[in-house]
Amino acid sequence: MNYIVFDIETTDTLPYINEKTVTTLDIAILGAYNSKTDEYTSYTAEELINFWPLVESTDALIGFNSDTFDIPLLNKYYPGDLTNIKSIDLLKDVHKSLGRRIRLNNLAEATLGEGKSADGLKAIEWWQQGLVDKVREYCLQDVKVTKDIFEYAKENGIIKWKDLNEIRDIKIDTSEWDKSDGGAVTQTLGL
């Protein structure tokens, strides 16, 4: 299976973000890992035209909270409909198994022994200060962490999390991850 792991950083934030308000935000940086080429890339909103060919040639989009945040926001920029492509949202799988949401940093520290390099609010601050390269670096680190957690779950059927001072396992059903959903993204670029 060819997949894209991705994450988005925004130019600003809102006091309350949900599926209805997320599209009022703007993309600062999109970071991506392409399993086909084993490469990490990043794009500003103006550079997204270079990301669409990757999307249109992948079997699945993989992210963390991507079904309710990243994909709806990215769909604002995409000339087709990204909800037509298979999506694996790790936070959704964690919630399904555990019954609650866990922060990516908590999962990364417990599963990988390394956390995120900062947080999204710091990335917004950097963006507003014109520190685009710092935002790119931060976003790509989030992509790497998400990719590594995805691969760990795929191999082991679990993701680890820290509950107070105890490391616990979250059973993740990965049986559908490699299966084609039969759908395909709308080919907007004539590929």
Average pLDDT, integer, range 16-30 = 83
- Please write down the HEC assignment for all residues of 134-182: HHHHHHHHHHHHHHHHHHHHHHHCEEEEEECCEEEEEECCCCCCCCCCC
Provide the whole-model pTM. Answer: 0.90
DSSP string, 20-87: TTGGGS-EEEEEEEETTTTEEEEEEGGGGGGTHHHHTT-SEEEESSIIIIIHHHHHTT-SS-GGGSEE
How far is the C-alpha of 145 from the C-alpha of 61, rounded, in Å? Answer: 15
pLDDT band at 188 (very low <50, low <70, confident <90, very high): low
In this predicted structure, what is the pLDDT of residue 182?
A: 56
Given the structure tokens 């779950």, which residue do they identify?
153
pLDDT at residue 181 greater than cutoff 90: no
Tokens of 155: 């191999």
CATH of 3-171, one of 3.30.420.10, 1.10.3720.10, 3.80.10.10, 3.40.710.10: 3.30.420.10
